[in-house]
Amino acid sequence: MYSNAYIFRFAAIMVITVAAVLATVATVLKPFQEKNKKIEKIQEILAAAEIKSTKADAIQTYEKHLVKELMVNFDGDVVSEYQDGEILKGDKRAFNVNMKTLKNRLKEYKAGKTEQSPHLPVFILDKQNEQLYVIPIRGKGLWGPVWGNIALQSDLKTIKGATFDHKGETPGLGAEINTDWFEDQFKGKKIFEDGKFTSIRVVKGGIENSPVDAIHGVDGISGGTITSNGVDQMLETGLKNYLPFFNQVNPKLQQ
């Protein structure tokens, strides 16, 4: 029979050994995990701009179509610029912005807890000689965060495409935000009317039976009201943050 001391030593050795193995595996796998996250993010940006890519060629496709990455402040001024593999202005790439951290900074800024304007990422892509402006947004669904990318045509009024995703929305209900039928509704919609920002309304019960003009709204998800409301709020708040930048690019936008 083994003594208690022996059992304790054996258990301690096993715990340390397993912990060391797990730490080593995590260290080895981390670069691959980071690369996969990068590729996934790139594919979401490209998909919003309706640029096809595969996991194998996503990085190359992104570099081919990227005009520049910008970071802008709440006055619409460009504070950082990345182009042709170089940071030309500022000290950070828009691609490396953590949207969760940015959302928290936005809350603090709007609550007056900080005076420094958060910097907002913008991705400018070229597709068939048209510049598309891809705007990343983040919000809250029923069970956790939801996020997306909105690609605007060069007029900064018309949506070229949109992608959405979530962390844990209900399958068949809120999780429908990342399906083609929901995302495709946004193509061709307008976020301005007569110079006024309208955003895009996600309408419970369907746009056809609502007072919202069809050009400014999409059908909400049946049974996914809270998630639909979360996407609606995410669109309005997220896009509104960029209005000063949009007006700098196109001064006639809100005239």
Domain boundaries of the chain, sorted by first residue: 43-249
The lowest-confidence range among 47-51, 142-146, 205-209 is 205-209
**pLDDT at 114 (0 to 100):** 85
Angle, in degrees to the nearest 10, between helices 4-48 and 58-65: 40
Give the tokens for residue 206.
């369907």
d(CA 100, CA 103): 5
d(CA 149, CA 58): 16
* Residue 71, pLDDT above cutoff 70: yes
Half-sphere exposure of 187 (CA within 13 A, CB side): 10
Query: If we measure between CA atoms, which residue out of 189, 250, 253, 252 comes closest to residue 219?
Result: 189
Mean pLDDT of the chain: 90
d(CA 148, CA 166): 9
**pLDDT at 6 (0 to 100):** 64
Could you tell me if 18 and 92 are in contact, meaning their C-beta atoms sit under 8 angstroms apart? no
Across 30-43, average pLDDT: 81
Report which of residues 170 and 5 the model is more confident about.
170
What's the pLDDT tens digit per position in 50-60? 999 999 999 99
Give the tokens for residue 10.
């054996």
Q: Could you give phi then psi for residue 237, rounded to 5 degrees?
A: -70, -45
d(CA 67, CA 59): 14
d(CA 13, CA 19): 10
d(CA 216, CA 189): 6
Across 163-180, average pLDDT: 91
Across 65-93, average pLDDT: 95
The DSSP symbol for 199 reads -
**pLDDT at 245 (0 to 100):** 96
Could you tell me if 16 and 28 are in contact, meaning their C-beta atoms sit under 8 angstroms apart? no
Its pTM stands at 0.87
